[in-house]
A and B are shown apart, each in its own frame.
Chain A
Amino acid sequence: MTTRSRHGLLVLPLLAFLVIAYLAPVTLMLARTVGESFGFEPLRQVIASPVAVKVFLYTLETAVWVTLITLLLAYPLAFFIATARALTASILMAVVLVPFWTSILIRSYAWMVLLGRKGIINELLISVGLLSQPLKLLNTGFAVYIGMVHVLLPFMILPILASLKGIDGRLVAAAENLGAGPVSVFRHVILPLSMPGVLAGTVLVFVLALGFYITPALLGGPSDMTISMLIAQEVDLYRWDVGAAMAALLLVMTLVALLGFSRFVSLDKILGGAK
């Protein structure tokens, strides 16, 4: 046996793990969607169900909006961190990262405490006199958006920050020297050179948002049902085949989204490859 092929043995544990914990379950799941005698009965059932279609569309819509909001919030912050002094930058990084390291469950509960009928926000607004009746904040789409954006922000900030920090400061100096004001420098140099980070963050956040479960389950109302919640419901009802079909559809949706993004992400090579 050659040295190289012996080194190949090192991947065996991981390979075994992936086959047992990932490949096999996914195959089994996909197999269930086929149904008896290859009629794709479960899949037809999902597509024919108005509820399922509505939930799929809602999930997609939520993912798109959450991604957009996250991007709009994350870019300015990343830009500020990238240009701030070392101390300010590290404080802001801590503010971004500490929630990132906290469990999603805990963060979602924290939002429940904040947004509830007798939650901190309502109590505060009433005691100040701005409100007489508590607002319904919790168990609304609003709460879902807040919770999801909060959880997903770091996934957008970090890649954007990385690509902003990778921009050669001399390019900015060169652009200024050539007559570009601050707006032009941003539009023609900084923004295009940070696109790889923007695209990476967008892909990450969008794909994660498609599969969100805990946050919408805890903060959303009855109409804020995502695919993951619907799948869990089906599994609870022992309708495993339908659940599997939904999971397969979610997987396909995610892959299609990734495929769509990959057309842009190939820009990465053009933008990042040169010095």
Chain B
Amino acid sequence: MRFAGVSKRYGDFVAVHTLDIDVEAGEFLSFLGPSGSGKTTTLMMLAGFETPSSGDIFVGDTRITDIPPARRNIGMVFQSYALFPHMTVEQNVGFPLRMRGMAKAERARAVGRVLEIVGLKGLNHRFPRQLSGGQQQRVALARAIVFEPPVLLMDEPLSALDKYLRSHLQGEIKRIQRELGITVIYVTHDQDEAMTMSDRICVMNEGRICQIDAPETLYRKPNDVFVAGFLGESNMLAAQDARFEGGSLSVSLAGDTVALPVKRAPASEIVVSVRPEHLSVSAAADGTACITDVTYVGDHRRYEVLLADGRKLAVKSQIVDDSAPIGPGEKVKVAWPTHQMRVFSDGATLQ
């Protein structure tokens, strides 16, 4: 599946800027972003409910940009499930097959098979309102895969479910995806969901792709300042007195001079992101930073550190022995993990 220069404008408002995405067959790709980031619009263009203002969408080698939704042969699970209330489970799941003119007996077999895959065997004659939220979700999934589409779209399919059911169904969806080898395009605003399920995540913000990468790459090496701040927890610090020399950038962070490996010279102000778990602090009488708060969280302690320039820093400190915590008010030194820090200028990485 491929997006080639796809954009969507509503009058003067650009909902989606030029998108170029290649999705491999059998891949699980998530669109992750805050609301209004254009991820749902992108999905709707794929399903055919929105027409791109420019660019083309391909499934395999077929250009589907102008094909109406009914003939795209793309499965979709709606956020609200959109089950037909006047049809039984069997009729709901059989609907796409009926629309494709499949004979009744064959249809019943296919429906039976797919209901077994999603774990709803024996509920054929129930109506949607007689099912729990999780069961309705499974019916919606069964209905979207029963006609064996090459691509399955899912629009925040689990957002209406409670936490336990959500993580259970995440596993189920992954299992079914692997079993069927189907390409899944998944829209979510829940980063844990995107991280645990996806082969790759496409982080979107304000109608643009910030970065498409495997979850681990996104977390460890964000290329974009938005990704660094959006995914997981990061301390974002403005750096002063930047000097670029021979592939290294020397900056001042709250009085400490730090040398960071970079590939190019900065264009403007520099922002450095660093994960709380990569930072460490040690008590020092001549330290310029000061602990303001300590929280015990079982496997780690969480420090809040006040830097010399008045900014705050979150630090996660693994508890490996019986060492006593550093108390509030104590002076500390911050150890900067230069190889795990990301440097951004104009929103893009310098690394």
Question: A residues near B, CB below 8 A?
Answer: 168, 170-171, 173-181, 184, 188-189, 192-193, 270-271, 273-275
Contacts and interface: CB of A to CB of B under 8 A. Distances in A.
15 contacts: A170-B80, A171-B82, A173-B69, A174-B78, A176-B68, A176-B70, A177-B69, A177-B74, A178-B143, A181-B70, A192-B86, A271-B85, A274-B85, A274-B128, A274-B129
Interface residues of B, number: 29
A189 B72 CA distance: 20
Contact of A275 (B74, B75, B85, B86): B85
Given A176-B70, A179-B73, A273 B129 contact: yes
A65 B306 CA distance: 84
B147 interface: yes
B31 interface: no
A198 to B, nearest CB: 13
Interface in B249-276: none
Interface stretch (B33-41, B92-100, B184-192, B222-230): B92-100
Binding site of A, secondary structure by majority: helix, strand, loop or mixed?
A: helix
B99 A178 contact: yes
B100 A177 contact: no
Contacts of B95: 175, 178, 180, 188
B296 interface: no
User: Which 7 interchain pairs have the tightest Cβ spacing?
Assistant: A274-B129, A274-B85, A179-B99, A174-B82, A178-B96, A176-B69, A170-B82
A193 B69 contact: no
B86 A271 contact: yes
Contact of A193 (B72, B76, B85, B100): B85
- Residue from the set B70, B73, B80 with the largest chain A CB neighbour count within 10 Å: B70
B104 to A, nearest CB: 15
Contacts of B84: 171, 174-175, 188-189
Interface in B26-55: 47-49
Nearest to A193: B86
Given A178-B99, A180-B99, A188-B95, A275 B129 contact: yes
Given A175-B95, A273-B85, 14 more contacts: A171-B82, A173-B47, A173-B49, A173-B69, A176-B48, A176-B68, A177-B74, A177-B75, A178-B95, A178-B143, A179-B71, A179-B73, A181-B70, A270-B127
Given A173-B82, A176-B70, A274 B96 contact: no
B29 to A, nearest CB: 19
Contacts of A180: 70, 95, 99
A208 to B, nearest CB: 28
A230 to B, nearest CB: 43
A147 to B, nearest CB: 36
B99 A184 contact: yes
Given A273-B129, A274-B127, A275-B85, A179 B76 contact: no
Contact of B70 (A179, A188, A192, A270): A179
A192 B127 CA distance: 15
Contacts of B86: 192-193, 270-271, 274
Nearest to B131: A274
Contacts of A171: 82, 84-85
Nearest to B79: A170
A180 B72 CA distance: 11
Nearest to A189: B84
A168 B73 contact: no
A173 B50 CA distance: 11
A260 to B, nearest CB: 22
A152 B72 CA distance: 44
B100 A168 contact: no
A237 to B, nearest CB: 53
